[in-house]
Amino acid sequence: MVQPTQEQLNELVNLYQSGNLDKAEATAQNLLKQFPKDITCLNVLGVVLDRKGQTEEAIKIYQKALQINENSPETHFNMGSILHRLGRSNEARISYERAISIKSDFLNAHFNLGLVYQNLQDNKKAIESYENAVKLKPDFHQAIGAMGTAFQAQGELDEAIEHYKKALAIQPDARNHFNLGAGFRTKGSLDEAIEQFEKSLSFDNENSETLTSLGDALWHKGKTDEAMKKFDEAIKIDPDHPQANYNLGVFLSDNNKLEEAHIHFERSKIHDSQERALYCLYKTGKYEKFKEKLDIVIANKKNNSPFLATLSKHYAVNFGKEDQYNFCKSPLDFVGHFTIKELAKPDSTLLKQLLKDVHEVEIAERMQSRLHHGKQSAGNLFKRSENSFITLSKLITETIEKYYEQKKDNEKDSVFINDFPDKVEFNSSWYIMMKQGGHLDSHIHEEGWISGACYLSIPKERKNPNEGAITLSVHGDNYPKKHDNFPEKTILPKVGDVVFFPSSVFHNTIPFSSNEERICIAFDVKPRAM
């Protein structure tokens, strides 16, 4: 006998599938003593060892199997699965592609190859792999849903939402309800997002990620108490859940509960949680502890955080010290003021369409505590399908390129210039519509790099010359100050103007008294690698 009987192989596979891993391993080892070159036994042994956490041993088994038969698609697939899980995406890609070259209808290899391509940020090829999987199995809802995530990563939000819906029509599940909710959240459809997150929880009611996302959507909807309950639920399930702790920290911080907020930011360890923890220390006057931790963070972090730049600059000016953080030493020198002629020209068609869409397109409102007598849109405006927003995003992109040409010689050694985005990508964008008395309190854009606003409507009647203007400064947000010698700049924009500034710069709107509207579209741009 040169190979095990089918009965022996069936017994081995049944042991593995039933979860009896120790007996499956022993059985595989015994069979391999008799049939050392049997690929099926080697593959099962590899899978069993992998399941038992013996990853390196499993890899050695697969390598041995491939030495015996390099044309075993299952072995290449199994090797790819391990490499994929280990984060060795390019090696995993090669293994999956090899499996497919041998067995073109290898369904799971096509699917897993798509996942790997997404890890490699090649969403176009990921979509192709998922499409190949769906051709083989038209009701493969996991692949259809995954295709949606790839479309969303490419910025094709409507296509993504359509695929999530297709997947759910085949088989409702927690993941695709979650993904659909995330798609609606990005689009600014908060009610729909909430509905989908709740449906996801009906399948998996102890998922911290979904609870956190639901809380976030409720928060932006203005349902603060409900949002906090969801963050609390997420933290009860996972006390160190990064995003839940982060969101709860932001809420507590916004409500001036800085001591409590500090605890959650220390637990979070994501996004700008280090900076927010420093913020809590600084605003509560714990300057020695602040400076000690500031020095540690600066020493261990690349100078790519606008929030850290704000804190470091304010401390330096406040206490007459040198700013140790080289984001940009003179941030107000990087304020740029331009005019987009397509908006500024008389009887602008684009301006008319933008104003029409701002007033009429159904976009959920994001509740914003710093905004007074106005409303702000939720989601990412420049990810929407309306032609007016798409056109404006292109015009602002062109103007950012002009801004860079104008400012690139300012502080050539600064990170702000050296790491300036080589490709403009709006990580957030929203409209702000204000009425009489409207204004924004002083704030920064912690998650940006370059921030700005394009103005669609500006009040013409003014009791004071700077009503409706934007003020930019290195001081704001009620930071503690030892003196009043903080530089600032005030700009009164006109319709069609766009103002750019580093995201580390404090800015606020001066209240206006007329009955006219003040409308702008604000945005943030970050380098892709951040």
The pLDDT, as a whole number, for residue 186 is 87
pLDDT of residue 61: 93
Alpha carbon distances (Å) from 174 to 139, 158, 204: 17, 20, 6
d(CA 24, CA 31): 11
Least confidently predicted of 108-122, 367-381, 504-518 = 367-381
What fold does the segment set 332-525 form as a domain? Answer: Jelly Rolls (2.60.120)
Question: Which residues does residue 473 pair with via DSSP β-bridges, in sequence order?
Answer: 488, 506
d(CA 315, CA 291): 9
CB 506 within 8 A of CB 310: yes
Residue 487 confidence class, pLDDT cut points 50, 70, 90: very high
Tokens 């056109």 correspond to: 391
Cα 319 versus chain centre, distance: 35
Q: What is the mean pLDDT of the chain?
A: 93
- What is the model's pLDDT at position 392? 98
Residue corresponding to tokens 């801004």:
403
pLDDT above 80 (res 469): yes
Q: How many CB atoms lie within 10 A of CB 110?
A: 25
Tell me the per-residue pLDDT of 148-197, one tens digit each, with 9 for 90 and over: 999 999 989 999 999 999 999 999 999 999 999 999 998 889 999 999 99
Mean pLDDT of 430-458: 96
Look at residue 364 in the predicted model and tell me its pLDDT.
87
Question: Per-residue DSSP letters for 339-362?
Answer: E-HHHHSTT-HHHHHHHHHHHHS-
CA distance 530 to 526: 7
Identify whether the C-beta of residue 408 lies closer than 8 Å to the C-beta of residue 417.
yes
Averaged pLDDT for residues 195-208: 96
Nearest to 191 by CA among 362, 357, 361, 359: 362
How far apart are the C-alpha atoms of 188 and 453, rounded to whole Å?
19
Buried b (16+ CB within 10 A) or exposed e, 66-78: beeeeebbbbbbb
- Structural element, H or E, at residue 187: helix 174-187
Residue 499: strand pairing partners: 337, 453
> Residue 116, Cβ neighbours under 10 Å: how many?
25
pLDDT at residue 367 is higher than 90: no
Tens of pLDDT, residues 88-140: 999 999 999 999 999 999 999 999 999 999 999 999 999 999 999 999 999 99
Predicted pLDDT of residue 17: 86
Q: Report yes or no on whether pTM surpasses 0.85.
A: no
Contact status, residue 449 vs residue 529, Cβ threshold 8 Å: no
442 phi and psi angles, rounded to 5 deg: -60, 135
Most confident of 15-29, 129-143, 215-229, 315-329: 129-143
Q: How confident is the model at residue 514 (pLDDT cuts 50, 70, 90)?
A: very high
Q: 353-357, 382-386, 489-493 — which is least confidently predicted?
A: 382-386
- Determine the pLDDT at residue 140: 97
Cα separation, 512 vs 459, whole angstroms:
8
Q: Is the pLDDT of residue 372 over 90?
A: yes
pLDDT at 530: 44
Share of the chain above pLDDT 70, in %: 99
User: Reduced to 3 states, what is the DSSP secondary structure of residue 447?
Assistant: coil
Residue 457: pLDDT above 90? yes
Give domain 6-236's CATH number out of 1.10.630.10, 1.10.10.10, 3.90.550.10, 1.25.40.10: 1.25.40.10
* Alpha carbon distance 351, 155 (integer Å): 24
Q: What is the mean pLDDT of residues 433-448?
A: 95
% of the chain with per-residue pLDDT over 90: 79
Segment among 273-282, 421-430, 465-474, 517-526 with least mean pLDDT: 421-430
Q: Which is more confident, 165 or 270?
A: 165
**Residue for token pair 């007598």:** 373
